Amino acid sequence: MVFKLNNQLLSKIATGNGHGEDSPYFDGWKAYDEDPYHPTKNPKGVIQMGLAENQLCFDLIQEWLKNNPKASICTPEGAEEFRDIAIFQDYHGLPEFRNAVAKFMAKGRGNRVTFDPDRIVMSGGATGAHEMVAFCLADPGEAFLVPTPYYPGFDRDLRWRTGVQLIPVECESSNQFKVTRKALEDAYDTAQLDNIRVKGLLITNPSNPLGTILDRETLKSIVSFVNEKNIHLVCDEIYAATVFSQPDFVSISEIIEEEVECNLDLIHIVYSLSKDMGFPGFRVGIIYSYNDAVVSCARKMSSFGLVSSQTQHLIASMLSDDEFVEKFIMQNKKRLATRYSSFTNGLAQVGIKCLKTSNAGLFVWMDLRRLLKEQTVEGEIALWRVIINNVKLNVSPGSSFRCTEPGWFRVCFANMDDQTMEVALSRIKTFILKSKEAKMSVKKLCWQGSLKLSFSSRIYDEIISPHSPIPHSPLVRART
């Protein structure tokens, strides 16, 4: 006999919805998973453009692996080390791993700064890193400010198990979504009014989803802000090496070495190899803190999500190869630039613009405001349903990034080959042209006065409405 379990036998975390999966960002993946595009087997399937993956340089990595069999403990050349690596579980990590990561972080920032291997703390991806930082810095109920639009996973990573809150700092397209001092002060004041203690500010640089970088002046202003308020600054720099055109990336590590007055104990960087190297499956997350107490505490916490020693060993070998790393970083930027350019040029051919200041990341921030039937979140979601159900592209609506202006969409472009990108572009073009034709028919009909049809006519609806709603679904992937 099996009794029915009373829900309260589980924790509030388990029975609540703090995980934040209730979002089109995650629902889009479900739509893709149910009907994934394949050039020959399923050419009408959904193309995945909701996944910020970097697949453009795997040929370089495979070549390196073939030339470096000793790098792995699973080759005849490397197997002698299997035992020592398999049993290694010191939470400091392999010294050669920390050294290699510190060097790679410097290279990815143009070698204008250096990183101390003793401050490198491992974590289970950036996901684990963000949670660890939140556990170290804030108590339940306390808050971090986060400029919008921001990565939807932050609601899970920083809040779910920690009880920490996120307070949006509202940024706008009128100034290319810059993080202004005024926006920061407004958010801080709102928190004060609500009696919420602000513990820090979380910025992503380069930004996901904007693909923009923060300029030197903005970074200095941010450093001043956190110092004046005596709150922490967490800088997510997981896209540091994806900056593919001018201006150059400026890391927070450069700013604090300059003349800025700054309490270094407030500064923490989150890094990862998921985007810059394209290894999200390896779960290599890094916390680099300038605060000794945070380094020490986070290191203890890393026991809950250490990087597999097998992976540490491989990464140590690969990232210690200077020649390879330099070639990889250069090629990566070059290929991202080419892809960005061909994708945005394609969109421009049908009049679609993207945020023009983007020069980093694995995505564009696409402006479809003119296509909305109404300038609301509902209008944005309606358009998103059309794109996913009819155009068969999984893109992510701006509202899932807490963007305050409806009509923006994040579109990932580096997780596919050239042919797939062309298919995606041609689907978008067809959709736009059909929409225009439909609009024109509607206008023509209206002008002729033969029918009373509004902008939301049936003809337009056939194109702009989903065949079927996407059901809210349990999050099927841990993807970012």
SS3 content of the chain, % helix, strand, coil (to 5): 50, 15, 40
Restricting to residues 209-228, name those near its own copies by CB under 8 A.
227
- Do the beta carbons of residue 158 and residue 144 sit within 8 Å? yes
User: Does residue 238 carry a catalytic annotation?
Assistant: yes
Q: Which residue of 23, 48, 72, 212 would you call a contact of its own copies, by CB under 8 A? A: 72
120 near its own copies (CB under 8 A): no
Per CB under 8 A, 45 contacts its own copies: no
Q: How far apart are CA 323 and CA 20, in angstroms?
A: 42
- Name the residue nearer to its own copies (CB basis): 79 or 330: 79
Neighbour-count burial of 92, counting CB atoms closer than 10 A to its CB (0-12 exposed, 13-18 middle, 19+ buried): middle
Q: Among residues 170 and 254, whose Cβ is nearest to its own copies?
A: 254
Among 311, 358, 359, 394, indicate the residue that binds its own copies (CB under 8 A). Answer: 311
Question: Near its own copies by CB under 8 A, which window of 1-9, 328-336, 354-362, 436-444?
Answer: 1-9
Residue number, 5 or 193, with CB nearest to its own copies:
5
The reply to whether 331 sits near its own copies by the rule CB under 8 A is no
DSSP conformation letters of 395-462:
-EEGGGGT-SSTTEEEEE-SSS-HHHHHHHHHHHHHHHHHHHHHHHHHHHHHHHTSS---TT-HHHHH
Which pairing describes strands 284-289 and 267-272: parallel, antiparallel, or unpaired?
A: antiparallel
Quick one: which segment of 88-96, 100-108, 167-175, 363-371 binds its own copies (CB under 8 A)? 88-96
Stretch that binds its own copies, among 62-70, 207-215, 339-347, 363-371 (CB under 8 A): 62-70
Q: By CB under 8 A, is residue 76 in contact with its own copies?
A: yes
* Among 151, 188, 290, 340, the one annotated catalytic: 151
- Smallest distance, Å, CB 115 to its own copies? 19
Cα–Cα distance list, 62 to 67, 314, 334, 374 (Å): 9, 13, 19, 48
Examine residue 6 and tell whether it contacts its own copies (CB under 8 A): yes
Residues in the chain: 480
Phi, psi at 77, each rounded to 5°: -70, -30
Q: Clarify whether 236 is annotated catalytic.
A: yes
271, 275, 315, 367: which is the annotated catalytic residue? 275
Tell me the number of residues near its own copies by CB under 8 A. Answer: 97
- x/- contact string, 266-295, with its own copies (CB under 8 A)? x-------x---xxxxxx-------x-xx-
Cα radius of gyration (the chain): 24
Residues 89-118 that bind its own copies (CB under 8 A): 89-92
From 127-135, 239-247, 324-332, 395-403, give the range in contact with its own copies by CB under 8 A: 127-135
Between 161 and 178, name the residue whose CB sits nearer to its own copies: 161
Q: Applying CB under 8 A, does 83 fall inside the site for its own copies?
A: yes
Helix and strand numbers (H, E) in the chain are: 16, 13
What does the angle CA 266 – CA 209 – CA 113 come to, to the nearest 5 degrees?
40
Q: What is the dihedral of CA 106, 107, 109, 111, to 10 degrees?
A: 70
Residue with tokens 């679904």: 473
How would you classify the pairing of strands 284-289 and 120-124?
antiparallel
- Identity of the residue, 85 or 355, whose beta carbon is nearer to its own copies in the bound complex: 85
Residue 74 near its own copies by CB under 8 A: yes
Of 236, 256, 381, 464, the catalytic one is 236
320 binds its own copies (CB under 8 A): no
Amino acid present at 64: W
Site string for its own copies, 224-253 (x = CB under 8 A): ---x--xxx---------------------
Asked if residue 348 binds its own copies (CB under 8 A), the reply is: no
Smallest distance, Å, CB 431 to its own copies? 28
Question: Which stretch, 136-144, 208-216, 336-344, 377-385, contacts its own copies (CB under 8 A)?
Answer: 136-144
> Phi and psi for 412 in degrees, rounded to 5?
-85, 140
Confirm or reject binding of residue 86 to its own copies (CB under 8 A): yes
* CA dihedral (198, 203, 208, 214) positive or negative: positive
The long-range contacts involving 339-344, CB below 8 angstroms and separated by at least 24 positions, are: 339/56, 339/413, 339/414, 339/421, 340/244, 340/245, 340/364, 340/413, 342/418, 342/421, 343/411, 343/413, 343/421, 343/425
Between residue 139 and residue 168, which ones bind its own copies under the rule CB under 8 A?
A: 139, 156-157, 161
Kindly tell me which of 76 and 351 has the beta carbon lying closer to its own copies. 76
Distance in angstroms (rounded) separating the CA atoms of residues 208 and 211 = 6
> Which of these segments, 54-62, 99-107, 180-188, 358-366, binds its own copies (CB under 8 A)?
54-62
Catalytic residue of the set 238, 256, 287, 388: 238
Residue 90 falls in the annotated catalytic set:
no
Residues in 172-201 that interact with its own copies by CB under 8 A: 199
Q: CA 479, CA 25: separation in Å to the nearest integer?
A: 10
Catalytic residue set? 151, 236, 238, 275
